[in-house]
Every structure is written in C-alpha cells, then in structure tokens.
Amino acid sequence: MMDPCLRAVVEGIHSSPTQAVVYLSGGASQALGWLMSVPGASNTVLEAVVPYSRMSLIQLLGKIPAKFASRQTAEDMALLAYNRALKLSQPGYQALGIGFTGSLASTRPKLGDHRFHVSARTSDRLWVSTVTLSKGLRTREQEDTVSSQFLLKAIAYACKVPATFVSELTDHEAPDDFEMQFEEDQELEQLINGQICFKVYPFSSGMLEAERKVILSGSFNPLHDGHLKLLEVAVSILGDGYPCFELSAVNADKPPLTTSQIKERVLQFEKVGKTVIISNQPYFYKKAELFPGSAFVIGADTAARLINPKYYGGDYERMLKILLECKNTGCVFLVGGRNVDGVFKVLEDFDIPEELKDMFISIPVERFRMDISSSEIRKSRGI
C-alpha cells in the first residue's frame, strides 16, 4: 500500500495544470507505478518511455552520449521529453519534460559510484540534479526506491506541489543541484536555433477543453480584423476546437525573425486576448508534425501553392506523398476565398487530387470574405 504522504503528493501533481513526458533509464521505475496507480494520471502523464538498453538510449538521443549515466544525458533527455510534451499537451497546460539516468546497484559490482541524475525542463526553467549514493548501503530495490522518491519530488517541484514525504537519502547524499531560469529572449533564441520546437503565448481569456487546435498561420505584419474574423468563422464551421494563431520565426525565403520582431508581433495578440504559437517550421507538412490532428485555416492562395507540384521540385508524386503524410496526422485544411493572381478564388476553383479531397474544407464566401491583406495595410501606412 502506498504511503499516504506519497499518495498526497501524487494527487497534487495530478491536480496541477501540468502535463509531462517522462524518459527513464537505469532506475526510478517505481515512480511510474506511483504516478499511474493514483486516479487522475491521465491528467499528468502524456507518455512514459524507458530506453533501458544502450541502443535504445542512443536512438532516443540521436547520438552516442559521452557517458550514458551523466548529468548531460539527463538534461538531453529532459529537453527531448519537453519537446515531445509540447506536441502532446492540451492548450492551457504547462508542458514538462523529465529525464532520468542512473547507475545503480547491479548483479555485478560496479567500480564507480552508484549515482543518478534527474533533469526537469519547462518553457522557462531547466533544473538538473545529481545524487551520489553511499555504496553498499542499499540493495538495488532500495536504491530504486530512493531514486524514485527523488524523481517524484522533482516532478512535484516542477508542478509547484509541496513534497511533504521524508526522503530516505542520508546527510552524506546531498544532491548537487543546478537551476537556470530563461528570460523570454533566451527562450526565443532556443526556438530560432531549433532547441525547442515552439512556444505558446496563451493570451485567450478562457481555455477550452478541446484537444484539437484550429490554427491560422501567418506573418501577422500586422495582425488585422480579417485574421480575427477568419479564425472565428473557421471554429464555428468545425463546431469545436481551440483557436490559436501561429507565427513561424523561420521563413523559407527570408532570414529568421529577430527576437525583438517576434515580441513586437506577439504584443498584437496580447492586446486582443488571442493565443499565439511561435514555431520554427515554415512548411505546412512540418507544422502538421508539430500539431497533429489540427485544423489549419488557410487562404485559397496558400491552397494553390500546397497542391502545386512546382513547390515540390516539379514532382507530382512527391507532392502527393507529402500531403498524404499530412493527412495521416489527422490534419485538415479550411480554405477561405482569396485573390490569386488578381482573381478572387475559392477552394472549388482548384483541382484537388481525389486522395486529398476530404482533407480540404471550404469556407463559404457568404461566411467570410475580406480582400485586404497585411501587405496592403503596410503599404497604406507607408511601412
């Protein structure tokens, strides 16, 4: 039976607005059991992976680590888990990545220390800790219990939940902790250089329970009423979904946006109380990987480019393959009418391949039509 103090901590974690991906290697296995055995685990645990063999850990990391059980490896695991949590978490929840790697008692005596490393990563914080255990003091099962308790405390700390149970670590086993808070500019730099896949600014006044995101992507230079109305209409057509805008910091044809440019554009969404996601993917097939199951709201001009083999090296089969992969992620495209080469066009004006037709949904002209564009607004302002 679980210790009541331990159970209270797990209940607190499950009640917090945090959703986590946990990667464990070499210990702390009991922590997963504790988390999963208390009702409400689905509120917290998005995914738990145990890359126990060397080859499994190498494939997870995408490289051979200098040391398998090390602080750096735990930190790398936490960052990967955080990016995974970003993709899986629901709107309104804090994404949390946890990495654990240990070298505990085994069937054969170890020449080195018995130790473990735990790392936690959120949008604005990195925490990593190393604990060196007193060799020979505990059995393997007891070392796993101690490391599991420590891991649970790390998750509780990230969830801002008090961990009231007493740790079984001795005075000589004091953790070696390191913590770093990221400023907004640092987070955005990490996004631009690809360390993190996206950042959410949840400015919406109310969080919806919908798992599917309804996403309007653009440069938003500037954001205007047409953008706001288009997304509103798209959500009403679908009947549900969490509406959000998406701005890519990386452009296929231009230099990346600077952190100051991103913050200027984000400010527009804060003023109108709308959620915006900053990503580093300019292509829709990559956006579909980031936001599986989402509904993307696009103009007819974008739809024309999506189904034009010209943008796939002139290869029709490659275009079809890429878009079918988008379809397999569960994504759909809602298409609004737009001027294309000086002519106003809607979805029905395009020859959509038969295999892709059910991935495209038309936004009726009577529901939405606004011909003005951001570039025209900039021109009228003399920008």
**Predicted confidence (pLDDT) at residue 26 exceeds the cutoff of 80:** yes
CA distance 325 to 372: 33
**Predicted confidence (pLDDT) at residue 169 exceeds the cutoff of 80:** yes
User: What are the Cα distances from residue 127, in Å, to 32, 78, 121, 130, 227?
Assistant: 20, 9, 6, 11, 39
Question: Hunting for tokens 């126990």 — which residue is that?
Answer: 52
- Res. 366 pLDDT band, cuts 50 70 90: very high
CATH code 3.90.950.20 region(s) in the chain: 4-181
Q: CA angle 361-365-367, nearest 5°?
A: 85
- Chain segment 134-144, per-residue pLDDT in tens: 999 999 999 99
On the 0-12 / 13-18 / 19+ scale of CB atoms within 10 A, 341 is: exposed
| Residue 90: per-residue pLDDT | 85
| Residue 340: per-residue pLDDT | 80
C-alpha gyration radius of the chain? 24
**Predicted confidence (pLDDT) at residue 376 exceeds the cutoff of 80:** no
Write the DSSP string, 85-117.
HHHHSPTTSEEEEEEEEEE---SS--SS-EEEE
CATH code 3.40.50.620 region(s) in the chain: 186-380
- Res. 334 pLDDT band, cuts 50 70 90: very high
| Residue 298: per-residue pLDDT | 94
- Res. 382 pLDDT band, cuts 50 70 90: low
pTM: 0.91
- Chain segment 79-134, per-residue pLDDT in tens: 999 999 999 998 789 999 999 999 999 888 887 899 999 999 999 999 999 999 99
Which run of H or of E encompasses 20? strand 18-25
Higher pLDDT, 49 or 1: 49
Nearest Cα to Cα of residue 329 among 191, 202, 213, 194: 213
Give the rounded percent of residues in the chain with a pLDDT score beyond 70.
95
Superfamily of domain 186-380: HUPs (3.40.50.620)
- Chain segment 187-203, per-residue pLDDT in tens: 999 999 999 999 999 88
| Residue 1: per-residue pLDDT | 77
Average pLDDT of the segment spanning 23-42: 97
At position 5, the amino acid (one-letter code) is C
CATH architecture of 4-181: Alpha-Beta Complex (3.90)
CA distance 181 to 122: 10
- Compute the mean pLDDT over every residue in the chain, rounded to the nearest whole number: 92
| Residue 263: per-residue pLDDT | 97
- Chain segment 291-311, per-residue pLDDT in tens: 999 999 999 989 999 999 999
On the 0-12 / 13-18 / 19+ scale of CB atoms within 10 A, 194 is: exposed
- Chain segment 55-81, per-residue pLDDT in tens: 999 999 999 999 999 999 999 999 999
Average pLDDT of the segment spanning 253-257: 89
CA distance 336 to 357: 15
Q: Give the 3-state secondary structure percentages of the chain, helix then strand then coil, rounded to 5.
A: 40, 20, 35
| Residue 107: per-residue pLDDT | 84
CB 374 within 8 A of CB 382: no
**Predicted confidence (pLDDT) at residue 205 exceeds the cutoff of 80:** no
